[in-house]
Amino acid sequence: MAGEVEISQVLLYARDLKAQYDATRAREQDLRAAYGRLKASYQQSLRYARELASVYGRLQRAFLQSLLGLANALEAKDPYTRGHSERVARLARRLALRIGCEPSESLVIAQAGLLHDLGKIGIPEAVLRKPGPLTENEWKLMREHPVVGARIVSPLEFFTEGALIIRHHHERQDGSGYPAGLLGEAIPLGARVVAVADVYDALTSDRPYRRGLSRGEALCWIQDSAGRLLDARVVSAFLALVADGCPDSPV
Ligand SMILES: [Fe+2]
């Protein structure tokens, strides 16, 4: 009799164990299913994040394209500056490559060259096209264009280097430039490159108040400014490009 009782207790115990085992297994399966759902939603979030980043990048690039179009349109209105930024961009890119910049860096320098005077958008045409010397106030307004231009492109996160170039393209080696009066190598390299291209194109272009210099006169002016106003290494690269037929040859 005692043996039968022990057997039935063992059987009860075994049934309990089995029930606990089944319950544990069911919980494990639930957990596995929950983990699977969590993993799937994590992967879905990753996909959304990647798509969002890609859309954001495309939007930023579209914004840059609109700014390039705007810069072009602004310049096209004025026969004296038409094509200036494109020539500056082409020459700046060649100069950048010549001094050993990576192609990607040279591209940013070229894009900054295209946009370097975008900040003139807020300057009245009467000042921009004034056929005589500017007053002190007009100069003050004119000198704001690098900072205004840098501010316009500042929402472009991938273009921070370009914004710096735009901001400092009127700095000069001896600190006499603007807006910050930076000296020598404190001036971002891209800005020193754009400065040489900008100065050469400005010197050789007609303005309402003067005829453009000849190519030879402009080269003398630039050579004379090396190390004083313009970066000597960039000027050397420029003179080497000139010896190769640039900037008049196609890029
Ligand atoms: Fe400028």
Å from CA of 216 to ligand 1 middle: 23
pTM here is: 0.80
Report domain extents, the chain: 1-58, 77-243
Please confirm whether the linkage preceding 124 is cis (ω < 30° from 0). Answer: no
pLDDT tens-place values along the chain, 251 residues long: 667 778 888 889 989 999 999 999 999 999 999 999 999 999 999 999 999 999 998 998 898 888 888 888 888 777 777 889 999 999 999 999 999 999 999 999 999 999 999 999 888 888 888 888 899 999 999 999 999 999 999 999 899 999 999 999 999 999 999 999 999 999 999 999 999 999 999 999 888 778 889 989 999 999 999 999 999 999 999 999 998 887 654 33
* Burial class of residue 73, CB neighbours in 10 A (0-12, 13-18, 19+): exposed
Centre of ligand 1 from the C-alpha of residue 199, in Å: 9
Cα-trace Rg, the chain = 33
The Å distance, Cα 169 to ligand 1 centre, comes to: 7
Give the type of residue at 3. G
Report how far ligand 1's centroid is from the alpha carbon of 223 (Å).
20
- Ligand 1 center to residue 147 CA distance, Å? 10
Task: Compute the distance from residue 96 Cα to the ligand 1 centre, in Å.
Answer: 18
In CATH terms, the fold of domain 77-243 is Hypothetical protein af1432 (1.10.3210)
d(CA 29, CA 25): 6
Handedness of CA 198, 201, 206, 211 (dihedral sign): positive
Q: Is the dihedral of CA 107, 236, 231, 215 positive or negative?
A: negative
